[in-house]
């Protein structure tokens, strides 16, 4: 399925829009209010036009080749017919996987994007293709926002609210199809309030929502860890996972994205293994999937997805959540108010593997844990990586 990397709307197979983005073009600028609502910034275009599929056309329609601005002669950009933001020229023949990261402030969304990207590059290479950042269709400089921190060891600044953060990657040809991955980061602050300053309705049209929640936002766990980890800020009522999830579900509305419910920063819980605490036995059990690395293995020439192991992990995380007084989260997902149960899984992830120390990331380097698991799930669902049957 082809989708817009900004508003996540499906590509209209009957219409194609083009605009001139040349800042020196003499034509008058036109504001695009819907794109501005999604971006949280001004967005204007110069000359624009639309091509419509002839009513008697049969088969897969493609707009005619290159389009040029009649004022300045520049090649025009293809644009989304819904939000009017620019999209790749070959979008009609491509598959776009749309992923949104959601969660309260400081749940590790931005760190996860940086770390996922590093693992993703390796995965795509193993699939005999290559990962490329698409600056033109991204709102964010990935190096500055997501990679630099890992290289320098400085913590990530909070994502500013009210403005879009999005990155788009080309994954090359996989399984006979051109693939793209669009990721939208959201400021926790935007999800903690009832109505954000930017349009977040794209959540309902995502293929996957990675909902991160910090187990330390649950008071009983925070108290147990008090002397074991650096002091944590006490979350406010707005930052409670159930409150944020409720807002996310409201934005999803009647949409049907896959929902990955992630117990984030699970490293904090893993340190409980050696201590006397009601949940210590879960993490001290060497057989649990919660302390073992991802189950991605090779299938023939490339990576495969271990369906059984993934389901087992989801079950284990679900029961751990129940044990941690996280029942409210499980109920909201499994028995939602609007009666629409989304396709969902529970995950346990840690982007850093250890707590940051003041302004610096863990001094001994980062040791990520299962960060790519939610993406592997959606890639498997979309046929990008094949299933493997685990040997028992
Ligand atoms: N222990 C532990 N701490 C983490 C982990 N990932 C992130 N953190 C901590 O959480 C802080 C916030 O991470 P961010 O990725 O900026 O959080 P965010 O969800 O993007 O926050 P907003 O942009 O404000 O919504 C980091 O600076 C780390 O201190 C992890 O895997 N383990
Ligand atoms: Mg952030
Ligand atoms: Zn022009
Ligand atoms: Zn769009």
For residue 249, is it within any domain?
A: yes
Mind listing the pLDDT tens digit of every residue in the chain (392 residues)? 899 999 999 999 999 999 999 999 999 999 999 999 999 999 999 999 999 999 999 888 889 878 999 999 999 999 999 999 999 999 999 999 999 999 999 999 999 999 999 999 999 999 999 999 999 999 999 999 999 988 888 888 999 999 999 999 999 999 899 999 999 999 999 999 988 999 999 999 999 999 999 877 877 667 766 776 666 677 788 888 989 999 999 999 999 999 999 999 888 777 766 666 666 666 666 555 555 555 455 555 578 888 888 899 999 999 888 877 778 899 999 999 888 899 999 999 988 888 877 777 777 778 888 999 999 999 999 999 988 865 55
Residue nearest to ligand 1 atom 7, measured at CA: 108
State the total domains in the chain.
2
Please check whether residues 108 and 204 belong to one and the same domain. yes
- The pLDDT score that the predictor gives to residue 328 is 85
Q: Quote the Cα angle for 374-298-392, to 5°.
A: 90
CA 169 to ligand 4 center in whole angstroms: 16
For residue 72, is it within any domain?
A: yes
Residue that terminates a domain, selected from 87, 115, 139: 87
CA 56 to ligand 4 center in whole angstroms: 27
Please check whether residues 67 and 114 belong to one and the same domain. no
Using alpha carbons, list the distances in angstroms from residue 241 to 101, 246, 260, 360: 14, 9, 14, 25
Ligand at shortest distance from the CA of 107: 1
Please check whether residues 120 and 74 belong to one and the same domain. no
Please check whether residues 73 and 97 belong to one and the same domain. no
Please check whether residues 328 and 180 belong to one and the same domain. yes
Please check whether residues 40 and 115 belong to one and the same domain. no
Residue nearest to ligand 1 atom 9, measured at CA: 108
For residue 5, is it within any domain?
A: no
Please check whether residues 172 and 61 belong to one and the same domain. no
Given the CA of residue 349, which atom of ligand 1 is nearest to it? Answer: 31
- Which DSSP string corresponds to 63-86? --S--B-TTT-PBPEEE-TTT--E
Using alpha carbons, list the distances in angstroms from residue 117 to 120, 124, 258, 370, 372: 5, 10, 20, 13, 9
Residue that terminates a domain, selected from 87, 119, 136: 87
For residue 8, is it within any domain?
A: no
For residue 26, is it within any domain?
A: yes
Locate tokens 């083009």: which residue? Answer: 18
Report yes or no: 257 and 342 within 8 Å, Cβ to Cβ.
Answer: yes
For residue 184, is it within any domain?
A: yes
**Three-state SS at 30:** strand
Domain that holds residue 28: 15-87
Domain containing residue 146: CATH number: 3.40.50.300
- The pLDDT score that the predictor gives to residue 285 is 60
- The pLDDT score that the predictor gives to residue 254 is 94
CA 82 to ligand 3 center in whole angstroms: 21
**Residue 301 phi, psi dihedral angles, 5° rounding:** -85, -15
In sequence order, the 6+-apart residues with CB closer than 8 A to the CB of 276 are: none
Please check whether residues 37 and 107 belong to one and the same domain. no
Report yes or no: 16 and 50 within 8 Å, Cβ to Cβ.
Answer: yes
Paired tokens of 29: 């600028």
Please check whether residues 113 and 62 belong to one and the same domain. no
Please check whether residues 259 and 356 belong to one and the same domain. yes
- The pLDDT score that the predictor gives to residue 379 is 96
For residue 241, is it within any domain?
A: yes
For residue 48, is it within any domain?
A: yes
Report the b/e string of 300-336 with b at 16+ CB within 10 A: eeebbbbeebbeebbebbbebbeebebeebbebbeeb
Residue 19 β-bridge partners? 48, 77
- The pLDDT score that the predictor gives to residue 293 is 57
Please check whether residues 220 and 327 belong to one and the same domain. yes
Ligand 1 lining (C-beta closer than 6 Å)? 103, 105-111, 155-156, 158-159, 187-188, 265, 267-268, 350-352, 354-356
- Which DSSP string corresponds to 123-171? HHHHTT---EE-GGG-SS-HIIIIIHHHHHTBPPPPPPTTS-EEEEEEE
Please check whether residues 255 and 345 belong to one and the same domain. yes
Beta carbons within 10 angstroms of residue 142's beta carbon: 20
Number of residues in the chain: 392
- The pLDDT score that the predictor gives to residue 80 is 97
Residue that terminates a domain, selected from 87, 110, 134: 87
Angstrom distance (rounded) from CA 118 to CA 385: 18
**Sheet with strand 297-299: strands edge to edge:** 297-299, 302-306, 387-388
- The pLDDT score that the predictor gives to residue 27 is 94
Paired tokens of 245: 């999830």
């Amino acid at each position: 399925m082809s989708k817009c990397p900004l508003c996540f709307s499906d590509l209209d197979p009957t219409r194609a829009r083009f605009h001139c983005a040349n800042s020196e073009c003499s034509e008058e600028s036109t504001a695009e209010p819907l794109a501005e609502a999604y971006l949280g910034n001004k967005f204007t275009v110069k000359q624009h036009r639309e091509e419509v599929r002839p009513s008697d056309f049969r088969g897969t329609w493609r707009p005619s080749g290159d389009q040029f601005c009649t004022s300045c002669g520049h090649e025009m950009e293809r644009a989304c017919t819904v939000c009017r933001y620019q999209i790749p020229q070959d979008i009609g023949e491509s598959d776009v996987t749309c992923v949104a990261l959601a969660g309260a402030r400081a749940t590790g969304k931005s760190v996860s994007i940086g770390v996922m990207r590093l693992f993703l590059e390796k995965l795509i290479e193993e699939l005999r293709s290559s990962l490329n950042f698409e600056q033109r269709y991204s709102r964010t400089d990935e190096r500055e926002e997501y990679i630099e921190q890992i290289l320098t060891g400085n913590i990530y600044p909070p994502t500013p609210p009210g403005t879009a953060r999005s990155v788009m990657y080309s994954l090359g040809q996989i399984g006979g199809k051109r693939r793209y991955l669009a990721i939208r980061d959201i400021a926790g602050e935007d999800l903690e309030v009832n109505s954000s300053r930017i349009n977040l309705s794209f959540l309902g049209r995502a293929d996957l929502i990675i909902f991160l929640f910090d187990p330390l936002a649950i008071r009983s766990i925070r108290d147990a860890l008090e002397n074991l980890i650096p002091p944590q800020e006490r979350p406010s009522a707005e930052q409670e996972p159930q409150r944020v999830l409720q807002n996310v579900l409201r934005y999803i509305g009647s949409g049907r994205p896959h929902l990955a419910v992630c117990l984030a920063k699970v490293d904090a819980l893993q340190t409980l293994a050696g201590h006397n605490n009601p949940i210590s036995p879960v993490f001290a059990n060497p057989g649990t999937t919660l302390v073992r690395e991802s189950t991605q293995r090779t299938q023939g020439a490339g990576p495969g997805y271990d369906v059984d192991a993934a389901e087992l992990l989801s079950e284990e995380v679900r029961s751990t959540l129940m044990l941690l007084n996280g029942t409210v989260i499980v109920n909201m997902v499994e028995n939602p108010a609007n009666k629409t149960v989304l396709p969902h899984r529970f995950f346990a992830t840690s982007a850093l593997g250890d707590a940051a120390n003041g302004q610096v990331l863990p001094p001994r380097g980062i040791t990520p844990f299962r960060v790519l698991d939610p993406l592997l799930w959606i890639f498997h669902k979309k046929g990008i990586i094949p299933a493997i049957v685990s040997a028992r």
